[in-house]
Structure 1
Amino acid sequence: MNLLAVFQHTLNVTLPVFAMVFIGIGLKRGGWIDPAFVSTASALVFKATMPTLVFMSIVQADLETSLNPSMLGYFALATLASFALAWAWAHFRVGRADRGVYIQGAFRGNCAIVGLALAASMYGDYGLSAGGLLLGVVIISYNALSVVALTTFQDGQATNWRSILGQVARNPLILAVVAALPVALSDVALPAWLLTTGDYFASLTLPLALICVGATLSVKALRNDSTTATSASLMKMVVLPILATAGAWLAGFSGRELGVMFLFFSSPTAAASFVMVKAMNGNARLAANIIAISTLLASLTVTGGVFGLRVAGLI
């Protein structure tokens, strides 16, 4: 096996994704984009272009290969196990006031943007369609478990399940999956002009989203680092991806399925975790530190993970 060729191919997958994140950091520091642009662009991605991308990828996919119930089921179980492990570690190692923030930062990945971008870069249309279907599991499990963690350790907060269910039901990505599946299963042929227009609009998603991820990172967070933030970041980027991916391999997954799940498991902490922590009056600085450190770590850990799995012949 030519290890140099494998490594170069790995860099071809991961570097374009993380390069866009660092471009976002540079554009923000250079004053080319401001918080107003990031806010508007992020809203456009979440409400319009990303749902279009998910819809188009599922509609144009071969569901016989991309729709795998066992894969969806394993991902849900692995997410629950990751949540439980982060909770157990936080119980012994983290002060009560910061436990909820730690747990959410350690298990909740940025699958919708970074994970999907990596899957698309590595597997093309299959990565988009399989990743789009996984997002349904991601959105439901991440939102519910995050609220449980934060309300348990945040004084004066209570879990409002009606609100959680309402947010999930109205989530544009969930609606895109629900709308796309009947079209894909019925083999309805959409007009060529509509498919082309949808592809044009959807193509805005990943570059714009990744630039916004970079623009929202606070490099100053690294100067204000704490042991807790580093611990949560290492849990998110090293420990949990290794355990979850090893479990998937032992469960019989391999090839593209194992690769997509690894990329989702190894996504850095989601930016949405900061928004939720701030809304619940938690330690927002800790949440921001975890996001920054895990995102910067991702360029190394994801590249290393993909390279290792390819050398082992697993993906």
Structure 2
Amino acid sequence: MLAAFTHTLEITLPVFLMVFLGLGLKRLGWIDAAFINTASSLVFRVTMPTLLFLSIIQADLDSALQPRLILYFVGFTLASFGLAWLWAIWRHPYVERGIFTQGACRANNGIVGLALAASQYGDYGLSVGGIMAGAVIVVYNVVSVIVLSVYSQDVPTDLRSLARNLAKNPLILSVVLAIPVALLGLDLPAWLLTSGGYLGSMSLPLGLICIGGTLSVTAFKRGSTIALDASLWKLVWVPLLGVLGALALGIRGPALGILFLFLGSPGAAASFVMAKAFKANDKLAANIIVITTFGSMFSLSLGLIVLKWLGLV
């Protein structure tokens, strides 16, 4: 048990220390909102797509491309959105239901989940996680737009704009481009791979620092009952139900570990951006992100300890 605890801390602490570094740098005034916005855009548009592309083309697709795991992950994500939506209808005010549903299910897989998967399973975790992240990005965007538009009185649903934005999403494009390159076994020049490696390696530390820079301790202290409820769904019920379902299907080992890390990752910063775009309660969205970011340090560590102790990952 002690060995499992120590190993779990070795996985989670480096990731969350980078988040706290970003928080500290922001409070010291060494980075500001302009830097965070620019760096976040760079990660989203350039470095993260490069990292995903390289991780897929350099992976052994026979092991990294796991249809059963990916289909289960996408299917359970859709099911969890549905369950959280029903819970919101039963428990929460009409105007907050969209924010609650998104916050309860939308995870920061592109940065935190991928960083944890890479920390735990190395290149294998990066490859499998990259494909999973690419697949679920579409689900997150489509379902979030639907659930937010239902409760928005100002922004109509525009499926054409949604389709256009998805088609231009750099993370989706990088995965779509990488899979045929990997399947055809195309060899890219060594100098290009090296330069791409330099660029891609910036993604995780820079992205984690930006997440830390956007966190607010004040927002954490102002956490409402709705935010706490959504955070409980995000950190406890969604990963717990997801792991139990995976076990019922016979998913074990590293695949189960990566699935747990992705399902248990904190709320995505994109949920705050979408809340503002739909003129919804963006402060509630921010509270959920802050609470789940801090809380996931403990929930992920505890979950990994239990899974390792049971010999499931």
CA distances 1:34-64 after superposition (whole Å, capped 9, x unpaired): 0011011001100000000000100100000
Counterpart of 1:158 in 2: which secondary structure? Answer: coil
- Structure 1 counterpart of 2:299: 301
Q: Which residue of 2 aligns with 1:204?
A: 202
Question: For the residues of structure 1 that align with 2:134 and 2:24, how far apart are their CA atoms?
Answer: 32
Match of 2:117 among 100, 119, 135: 119
**CA drift at 1:188:** 1.5
In 2, distance between residues paired with 1:202 and 1:137?
19
1:101 paired residue number? 99
Distance 1:45 1:99 in 2: 30
Q: Which residue of 2 aligns with 1:89?
A: 87
| Pairwise CA distance, 1:68 | 0.9
SS at match of 1:292: helix
Please list the CA deviations of residues 97-137 of structure 1 after superposition, one character each: whole Å capped at 9, or x if unmatched: 10100000001001001000000100111111111111222
Residue 26 of structure 2 corresponds to which residue in structure 1?
A: 28
- The corresponding residue for 2:192 is 194
Q: TM-score scaled to structure 2, two decimals?
A: 0.98
Task: Say which of 160, 180, 183 aligns to 1:182.
Answer: 180
String of CA shifts for 1:176-205, please: whole Å, max 9, x gaps. Answer: 111111111111222222111111111100
Is 1:42–2:47 an aligned residue pair?
Answer: no
1:158 to partner: Cα distance: 2.3
Matching residue of 1:280: 278
Q: Aligned residues, how many?
A: 313
Amino acid at match of 2:127: S
Q: Aligned partners of 1:109 and 1:41: how far apart in 2?
A: 20
Q: Which letter maps to 2:150?
A: T
CA distance in 1 between partners of 2:160 and 2:131 (Å): 24
Which piece of structure 1 moves more, 106-115 or 149-158? 149-158
1:260 aligns with 2:258: yes
SS of the residue aligned with 1:109? coil
Q: How far, CA to CA, are the matches of 1:143 and 1:117 in structure 2?
A: 21
Identity rate, percent: 55
In 1, are the aligned partners of 2:59 and 2:123 still within 8 Å (CA)? Answer: yes
Letter in 1 for 2:6: Q
Within the candidate set 31, 55, 58, 1:60 is matched to: 58
User: 2:220 maps to which residue?
Assistant: 222
What's the C-alpha RMSD, in Å, of the aligned pairs?
0.8
| Alignment match of 2:127 (pick from 126, 129, 147) | 129
Report how far residue 223 of structure 1 moved. Answer: 2.2
- What is the aligned counterpart of 2:10 among 9, 12, 18? 12
Deviation at 1:246, TM superposition (A): 1.0
In 2: Cα distance, 1:268 partner to 1:238 partner = 11
Distance (whole Å) between structure 2 residues aligned to residue 145 and residue 211 of structure 1:
28
Query: Structure 1 unaligned runs (5+)?
Result: none
Q: Tell whether 2:244 aligns with 1:250.
A: no
Residue aligning to 1:235: 233
Contact 2:155–2:279 under 8 Å retained in 1: no
* Aligned mates of 2:154, 2:188 — CA distance in 1: 50
Q: CA contact under 8 A between 2:154 and 2:279: conserved in structure 1?
A: no
Q: 1-side partners of 2:242 and 2:266: how far apart?
A: 15
**Among candidates 154, 165, 173, match of residue 152 of structure 2:** 154
SS at match of 1:44: helix
Alpha carbons 2:154, 2:278 under 8 Å: kept: no
Q: Hey, what does 2:78 align to over in structure 1?
A: 80
Question: Aligned letter for 1:130?
Answer: V
Question: How far did 1:5 drift?
Answer: 1.2
